[in-house]
Amino acid sequence: MSHYMFRAQVINKKSQSAVASAAYRSGQHLYSERDGLTKNYARDGEVESFILSPEHAPVWAEDRKKLWNEVEKVEKQANAQLAREIVFALPKEISNQEQRQLTENFCKENFSNEGMVADINIHRDKEHNPHAHVMLTVRPFNEDGTWGAKRIRNDKQKESEHTTDWHKKETLNKWRENLAERINEKYHDLGINEKVSHESYRKQGLDKEPNIRLSRSDYQWEKRTKEIAKQHGKEYEPVTYYGKLNQELQSINKELESLQEQENAISLEEKSKEKGQQTSSLTDTEKAAMKTIAKRAKSYVDYSIALNIMSDLEKGSWKKKIDQTKVQIESQKNVISKAKKVYDKQPSKVHYYGFNKERFPQEMRQRIQEIKDLQSRHQKDQYAYRNMYETSKVALDAQERLTEQEFQSLYDTNQIFTTIEKYQALQYYKEHGELLAEKDIKTHASNNHMLKREKPIHEQVNQISQSILILDRGIKKEERKKAQYVYNRDHEGTFQASKKIEQYRLQKQQFENEINEPKRALQLELTKRYGDQVQTIDRPDVLVRLHHQSDRQTSSLENDLQSLEQEWSEKEKSSGSTNAKAYSQNLLEGIQQSLMEIEHDNQRMPQRDSTKKREKKRYRGQVLEHEQ
C-alpha cells in the first residue's frame, strides 16, 4: 500500500447540499427537493456504490435520493450539519472484491452497527489510488424508525448534550485505528509483507516529514503542468505553493534518509535550521498564520479563503459581539455615574436608578465589580480578536504575494489587474487547463463574486433608519417599564431598565453617526432627479421613500412629497397592528416636516417678476408692429 490516508469532514447546510454531495460521489442523477434541481456530475470510471443502514432504520434509508432529501428536510437550521464524510485509501495490492469486503466490514463495525446510515462509494478512477467515500448520517434513528434528537437537555447542568459520541475526537481516532488494524489483518491473511499505521511519523519514531495533501484544483493544475513539461521535454517544476512545499519536503526526507545511513548525529536545532534554509518563500510567521487560518476556515487556505476570513472578522458576529459588550460596559458606567451624582445631591432620589439609599455604598461597589468582571472578559475577547485579525492580515498579505507570483508565471502583461482579478484568472486555468484571454479577465472576475456585494445605498439607509426607529421604540418601552419598577420600588428591575435605556441610546447614537455618509450619498443620487432642493430633507426614511418614487413621472419634489403624504395617510388609517400604525405615523410626520422645509425654502428663494417679462414681450411686439 503506497500510504495510509483517512480524513473526515462535515457537510454543512449553510454552504453545501447533502443531495449534491451524494450525487457527486456516486456519479448518479439525484433530484433535490430543496432547490428543485437534478444533481448530475459525470465521473471517470465506474463507481462501486452501496448503502449500509442500522436495523431500526426505515426502508427508505437505503434509497440514496430519498435518504439525503429526508436529511435536508429534518435539519431545519440554516447552518445545520447534514452529514459527516469519511474518506480513506484502500490497499492497491488487493483485488476489487477484497477492497469491497474490507470496506463493508469496517463500515458495519464502526458505523451502521452504531446507528448511522453509511452511503459508501468506492472510486477506482486512478489505478494507483483506490479509495472510499463514506457519507454518514449525523442524526440517530429512534427504535420506531423515526428521526431521533441530536441533543437532549440535561436538567442538572442546564445545558444540552449530544445523544451520541459520533462527534468526539476520541471516536474519530478509534475509527482511524480500527481501519489500520483491518488493513493489516487483510495483509496478514493474504501473506502480503506490508503494514500501515494510523499514527504520525513522529509517534512512529520515524524521522520523516509528511506531505501536504493537495486540493483538487491544485492537483489538477500540477497534473496539467507535468503534462506540459513532458510534452516540451522539460523538467517538471511545481507551480502551486503546496506543490512546491511537498517537493521540498520530499527533498528533506531524502536528505534525512541519507544522513541516517551515514549515521551522522544531527541535533534537532541543526535540523530545524537546515529545514529553514529549504523552505518556500513564506516566512515562519506567515506559515503559522496560514495554519491558524486553515483551522478557522476548516480547509486549505488560498487568496479567496484568506480574503473572506478577513471580511468576516471586519464585519462578522465576533466584531459585533465585541462592540455590543463595549456598549454594555459604557451603559452601566453611565447609570452608576448618574446615580452617584444624584446620591451626592439628593440621596432620596437614587431609587430612580435602581439603588437603595440605605445600602448605596455596598450596592455601588457590587455594580462596579460587575463592570470590572465584564471589562476583564471584554479585554480577553478583544485580545483574541486582535491576534486573529493580525494573523489574518499576515495570511492575506502572503496569499496576495503568492497569487501575484503565480499570475506572473502564466501571464507576461503590462495591463493592470486587481488581486481578485488575477486570482480568478488563475482559478480559470486550474479548472479548464487553459489560459483565459487577457481581455476577458476583468469580465470573468466581475461575474464570479468572491465577496458579498454591498447593499445599494438606499437599502443601507433604510436598514439603518429602521434600526434607529426600533431603538426609539425600545427606549420608550424601557422607560415605561422603569416607571413601573420605580413605582413598585423594584430596585433590580429599575437598574436593569436604566441600563437598557442607556444602551439603546448609545446604539442609537452610533447608528445616527453611521447613517450620515450613506444618507449624503442618497441625497446626491436624488439630486439628479430633484435638483439641489432635496438637500434640505434630513429624514433618512423620507429620502428612501423618494427613491422608491423614481419610476414615476412627476413634475417636482413637492409633488412627490404630497403624493407620499396622501399614500401614507391612507396607510395610517388602515394599519391594523400597533407597530405598523406607529411606523406609518412616524413616516407621515417626516413627510409633513419635509414639505414644511421645502415650503420654507421656496419662500427664501428670490422670485423673478414674470409681469415685467410679459410687458417686455408685449412692448417688443408693439415695436415690431409699428415698424411694419
Question: Three-state SS string across 479-537, please?
Answer: HHHHHHHHHCCCHHHHHHHHHHHHHHHHHHHHHHHHHHHHHHHHHHHHHHHHCHHHHHC
| Distance (Å, whole) CA 137 – CA 82 | 7
3-class SS letters over 527-547:
HHHHCHHHHHCCCHHHHHHHH
Residue 225's pLDDT band, with cuts at 50, 70 and 90, is confident
Cα(162)–Cα(175) distance, integer angstroms: 19
264 confidence band (pLDDT: 50, 70, 90): very low
**H helix runs in 207-283, sequence order:** 216-231, 241-261, 268-278
Q: In this structure, are residues 331 and 499 in contact, taking their beta carbons and an 8 Å threshold?
A: yes
Q: CA–CA separation, 263 vs 389, rounded Å?
A: 45
> How is residue 582 written as a grid cell?
406607529
| Cell numbers describing residue 68 | 439525503
Res. 118 pLDDT band, cuts 50 70 90: very high
Dist. CA 535–CA 522, nearest whole Å:
10
Residue identified by cell 423618494 is 546
* Crossing angle (nearest 10°) for helices 419-432 and 360-410: 60
pLDDT of residue 157: 59
Rounded to whole angstroms, how far apart are CA atoms 90 and 124? 10
Name the β-bridge partners of 47: 123
Q: Are 114 and 125 in contact (CB under 8 A)?
A: no
d(CA 178, CA 169): 14
For 492, counting Cβ atoms within 10 Å of its Cβ (0-12 exposed, 13-18 middle, 19+ buried), the class is exposed
- 144 in helix, strand or coil? coil
Q: How far apart are CA 523 and CA 537, in angstroms?
A: 8
- For residue 351, is pLDDT > 50? yes
Res 581 pLDDT > 80: no
Mean pLDDT (the chain) is 81
Distance in angstroms (rounded) separating the CA atoms of residues 103 and 123: 12
Domain coordinates in residue numbering, the chain: 6-198, 205-280, 503-604
Contact, 94 vs 190, CB < 8 A? yes
- Asked whether residue 213 carries a pLDDT value surpassing 60, the answer given is no
SS3 73: helix
Segments of 35-97 assigned E as strands: 37-39, 47-52, 81-89
| Partners of 147 in the β-ladder | 141
Q: Report the SS3 class of residue 75.
A: coil
Give the pLDDT of residue 234: 75
Q: Is the pLDDT of residue 268 over 70?
A: no
User: What is the pLDDT averaged over residues 50-74?
Assistant: 94
Check residue 119 and give left, alpha or beta (phi > 0: left; psi -120 to 50: alpha). Answer: beta
Phi, psi of 28 (to 5 degrees): -100, 160
* Residue 514 pLDDT: 86
Query: What is the biggest distance separating any 2 CA atoms in the chain, rounded to whole angstroms?
Result: 128
* Residue 250 reports pLDDT greater than 80: no
CB 342 within 8 A of CB 352: yes
Looking at residue 227, what is its pLDDT? 78
Place of cell 434509508: 61
Residue 516 C-alpha from the chain's centroid: 27
Average pLDDT value for residue range 92-103: 91
CATH number of 6-198: 3.40.50.720, 3.30.930.30, 3.40.640.10, 3.40.50.1860? 3.30.930.30
Q: What is the pTM of this model?
A: 0.48
* Per-residue cell: 568: 401614507
pLDDT for the residue numbered 445: 83
Selection from 315, 314, 306 nearest residue 420 by Cα:
306
Q: How many residues does the chain have?
A: 628
Q: What SS3 class is residue 203?
A: helix
pLDDT at 574 over 90: no
